[in-house]
Chains A and B, each alone.
Chain A
Amino acid sequence: MKNWGFKISKPRVLDFDTANLDAYNRLIEKVPSAHRCLMCGACTATCTANLHTTFNFRNCHLMFRRGQFEGLAEELDKCMLCGKCKLVCPRGVNTRAIIYNLRIVLSDLNYKKIEL
């Protein structure tokens, strides 16, 4: 077959029809306050871990909500579970519990196994 120089790349769109949006329910069972997050970013702003790493807690949470799990577990490993983010959250979201439980759910989904 003639090679026209085109190749098929992975679609870049967030596909709400195929993304695993149900995994979020498992997080909500454990941390109901996660629903209240309005993505204001105050948690990320105050987080010490993001000074020296690419870690962005708010964005990790959003990506998980959207069913985008690739690389998330590695990112969440950068959190020190210090809880500073919880102090600034205007919606009283239990941020630390989100991080902890996200690691468990991601592990169950076979994204980076953790031993508990």
Chain B
Amino acid sequence: MDKKVLIIGGGPAGIETAYSLALQDVKVVMIEKDANVCGNIQNWEKLFPDFKDAEEVRKILSQKLNHPNIEVITNTEIKNLYPQGNLWFAKNDDERIFEANAALLATGFEVFDAKRKEELGYGIYDNVITSADFEKMYKSRKILTAEGRVPQRIAFLNCVGSRDEKVGNHYCSRVCCINAVKQAIEFKELVPDAKAYCFYMDMRMAGQFYEELYRKSQEKYGVTYIRGRTSEAAVTRDNRIQIKAEDTLSALPMKMTVDLLVLMVGIEASAGTTLLSEQNDVLGLYGFAKPLGLYSEDNMTTKPGLFLAGTCKRPLTLPETLADARSAATDIIKYLKTTK
């Protein structure tokens, strides 16, 4: 096919769509703002729910980009995306213009900036970290306090930046409950004698094998789950963190001092997602891009030739993102075949 598709964003969604299109003889130009491809999964060490080495997945995805029909352009942030006639154009700050027959938005997400929940002390107290920081620490298989001590007590707080009217995010981020279960297990494997707690409002274990992992974390690793939202964190004299919550199941207010507090940060639309959606009148709720419909139109938009894949639409896990990307490719090919 003598047609070209522009893909904005070189994360899992962008790569998987690019490869599916390339296999069907469509030319692809994939534009990524960072120096490297793979998006947010560059920051994860092992993946839930099967503890797969994220590096293996990154390798597989990166290899797909070797297909001769795919051109990858990195270090290029698209600031402008617009149609003209039947063609789509994308521009960066240097006014470099890319042109194609269709465009795919695969600009993904950013993790919630935990500093916005000031009462939880991120960026203020040394021993408050985020789940993304945990991943970085876990690369060296060492989870330590700021003082370099092995934590004897760790707490994971769910729903930080999600399901919270105070930060304007009513939605559930989908990945953080299971991520807390995963990280609690990883911690307990490193420090079996330590205590690990997880504070939740609802444990959302709807994915395949999630409930089993949750069960295993209790049965095999003794992780303790407490139903209550933490209202605030404070520092103690010895630089530990004291948190306050209600143990709603016993209906008693509680406090607990921990060596390390991990905030399970949620998923927010990336700046690029919001900007490019807005330019094309496809901005949905909370800054995410809005698909044409929920069912068979989930990869299309109101703009002919503009398609969506992955977390630029809403929070998704990696397998969900990849499936969504392949489905986007199907719609794009259908469109290319029926348009001049």
Distance (whole angstroms) from the CB of A80 to the closest CB of chain B: 15
Contacts A56-B251, A88-B231, A90-B229 given; indicate if A45 touches B244 (C-beta within 8 A). Answer: yes
Contacts A90-B163, A90-B165 given; indicate if A42 touches B253 (C-beta within 8 A). Answer: no
Asked whether B230 lies within 8 Å of A42 as measured between CB atoms, the reply is yes
Q: Count the A-B residue pairs with Cβ separation under 8 angstroms: how many?
A: 68
Which B residues are CB-close (under 8 A) to A91? 165
Interface flags for A31-56 (1: CB within 8 Å of B; 0: not) read: 00000001111111111001100001
Q: B246 at the A/B interface (Cβ < 8 Å)?
A: yes
Closest chain A residue, CB of each to CB of B246 = A41
Distance (whole angstroms) from the CB of A14 to the closest CB of chain B: 14
Q: Which residues of B (175-209) have their CB < 8 Å from a CB of A?
A: 201-202
A106 to B159, CA, bound (A): 34
Interface range on chain A: under 10, 10 to 19, 20 to 34, or 35 or more? Answer: 20 to 34
B228 touches which of A41, A51, A92 (Cβ 8 Å)? A41
Closest chain A residue, CB of each to CB of B167 = A90
Asked whether B165 lies within 8 Å of A42 as measured between CB atoms, the reply is no
Distance (whole angstroms) from the CB of A61 to the closest CB of chain B: 11
Contacts A40-B228, A41-B228, A56-B253 given; indicate if A46 touches B244 (C-beta within 8 A). Answer: yes
Which B residues are CB-close (under 8 A) to A39? 248
Distance (whole angstroms) from the CB of A60 to the closest CB of chain B: 10
Q: Which residues of B contact A (CB under 8 A)?
A: 119, 159, 163-166, 201-202, 227-232, 244-248, 251-254
Q: Beyond the given A41-B229, A42-B229, A43-B231, please list 8 additional residue pairs across the A-B interface where CB-CB is below 8 A.
A: A41-B228, A41-B253, A42-B230, A44-B248, A45-B253, A45-B254, A56-B251, A56-B252
Q: Could you write out 9 A-B pairs with CB less than 8 Å apart?
A: A38-B202, A41-B229, A41-B253, A42-B231, A43-B231, A44-B253, A50-B253, A56-B252, A90-B166
Q: Which residues of A contact B (CB under 8 A)?
A: 38-47, 50-51, 56, 58-59, 88-92
3 tightest CB-CB pairs across the interface, nearest first? Answer: A41-B246, A40-B229, A46-B231
